[in-house]
Structure 1
């Protein structure tokens, strides 16, 4: 399945067109005031929205995009100009809209070849008297807005809202009920041990290659394509998993998938930038239960996935171990025992 073809909105162009129309109707003697420019009008902001979706949004999506970009900048702790100086781009992909509610994906993309990593959030939004209220995935606002929206079917809406709620009561444990990003009962080579989603901490990610090359869901849940080659599966246990660099890709706009569902194959896709030195699955773990860092990548160290407990060392080093089986270091084959 392929992603829908988006419509790209140039906010500054649209705003100027509207201003010109106001001048014409008001008469030459009275000039219209210059339209206010929000953060989404910056050159390093890209807005994607299907025409049918835009028709259900006040202003065609521009006011919503401004609100989403503002929340992304606050989460990142950087201004839009600072991101632009680093050649980073904010993408707002508005996927659904109905009844004053909206849902989509926000991405901070990085240059291809950069050692930095892209970031992405699902977002939910509600159009109120004071404009759009936006919640980014992992925030209480996201769960509250989504739970009360008119979007999605009830089961998907309720499950995703509950699973991503930072206030949920989940018992901390090394065994987290998540497997590995390939089929249970098969093996792949751990080409890179625990390391950051980007270049730093936490060491939330691990690289796999070889075997039959297929990336598969490490646990069931709702699967969202963030861009073509990057999937996030939100599980029902307070965790989600990311799969990046995928090729032969299956586009999943919120499908309810089971453990082992096919996502794509190991590859070198860089749909949101970053770097890769060879075809692999970049697999990352996220959690929602820490109110101070909800919806963010969490360390693999000490956690058991696929029957193996992870131990970090230097970036891309470390190892995995299993009682009665032994220890596997980067370059070794890891068997997925499931969970």
Structure 2
């Protein structure tokens, strides 16, 4: 009989025979079970990557097919002697252990994400910078107001939503992971420390730590329960975490709405100004709320006749993606402004046309504000205002510009 010595604090498992996949399963299972006192309907340990005694994957405590919801974790494990050291994503040791893992097991980008995630886990804010999990400008129905991930238990971190073409989209940019082996459950760790969970998905993608922009297709709403739980009608079970802990939706702003609890789980709803919506009513997705942070460059850059100039602005401290309503103000002087083409250049080099040439426009100053849908771009990085003179005989300069997130 194989003997196991399990130390849940640090999750070291020592075995009397050489370590095997089963021994890893036992170590991860022991770590997960040690986190919960409630019954579960089974355990999944899903190895997603491994190399040289290191393993990264997801683990799940399945729920009953009649109630609750599965509890899941990302894990990293290192083989030490005859046992395994396991860190779950809500352990303080998770960030440190992922930093030590080979890059083929935990990528450089993931290491940066997990380090920020751990650091931001203690930051409290009602502004999440998150969209709702469907297209901006579209309305879906609240199937169930704020409730716990598993129903009644607090914190009431979750809301059930359905509508339109049932296409569930990522609520902000971040790294996405599949959790259940049969699919249906996706987790996204966002750059600002928030995490969103999506359950009951159909025809879903199967991400493995890739970085996705806000609005990425994840799957369709459905009644699927691949890791247990229940669903009476099509919906996405959408939930909020910070670090590895569930966070109540009360007073949090997502998609332009601020959420409130009712007298019982699944009651309550959302407010926007004087408008209140509760279970059974629809809420329009206004996208991530805008913090109004403005960056500027007032340095002059010469635009030569038939030449081009770029003025850079380095943006930092803005979580996640740029907004769908990114505001750009340009102050440009030119002896025939109709010669000018103006573009906004994103940090990844993508160009957004702000102004096209107009040979009949003989004014000499541009003081204009442009609205850009830049939601597919990461906010932080160097943005550039590019001004190009496309005709002969005139010249000018960029006097300054601002960009507001």
| Bigger share in helix | 1
Q: In the alignment, is the contact (CA less than 8 A) between 1:122 and 1:137 conserved in 2?
A: yes
Show the counterpart of 1:234: 189
- SS of 1:64's partner is helix
Alpha-carbon shift at residue 210 of structure 1 (Å): 1.2
Show the counterpart of 1:36: 3
User: Does 1:331 pair with 2:272?
Assistant: no
Q: Deviations over 1:53-89 (max 9, x none)?
A: xxxxx744122222111111211146xxxx4xx6x10
Alpha-carbon shift at residue 170 of structure 1 (Å): 5.3
Q: Deviations over 1:189-219 (max 9, x none)?
A: 1111101111321110001111121110001
Show the counterpart of 2:377: none
Show the counterpart of 1:99: 52
Show the counterpart of 2:168: 215
- SS of 1:75's partner is coil
Q: TM-score, normalised by structure 2?
A: 0.64
Show the counterpart of 2:265: 315
Counterpart of 1:66 (choices 9, 19, 26) is 26
Q: Write out aligned runs for 1:127-206 (5 A).
A: 127-129=79-81, 131-150=83-102, 151-159=105-113, 161-165=114-118, 167-168=119-120, 171-199=123-151, 200-206=153-159
Structure 2 unpaired stretches of 5+: 7-17, 289-405
Q: In the alignment, is the contact (CA less than 8 A) between 2:117 and 2:192 conserved in 1?
A: no
Distance 1:127 1:173, change over 3 A: same
Q: Paired residues, what number?
A: 271
Q: In the alignment, is the contact (CA less than 8 A) between 2:261 and 2:268 conserved in 1?
A: yes
Q: In the alignment, is the contact (CA less than 8 A) between 2:121 and 2:193 conserved in 1?
A: no
4+ long deviations beyond 3 Å: 167-171
Q: In the alignment, is the contact (CA less than 8 A) between 2:148 and 2:155 conserved in 1?
A: yes
Show the counterpart of 2:208: 253
Distance 1:187 1:38, change over 3 A: farther
CA distance, structure 2, for counterparts of residue 328 and residue 92 of structure 1 = 40
Alpha-carbon shift at residue 250 of structure 1 (Å): 1.3
- SS of 1:158's partner is helix
Q: In the alignment, is the contact (CA less than 8 A) between 2:167 and 2:220 conserved in 1?
A: yes
Q: In the alignment, is the contact (CA less than 8 A) between 2:200 and 2:235 conserved in 1?
A: yes
CA distance, structure 2, for counterparts of residue 139 and residue 211 of structure 1 = 39
Which one has a bigger Cα radius of gyration? 2
Q: TM-score, normalised by structure 1?
A: 0.76
CA distance, structure 2, for counterparts of residue 212 and residue 317 of structure 1 = 25
Structure 1 unpaired stretches of 5+: 1-33, 40-57, 289-294
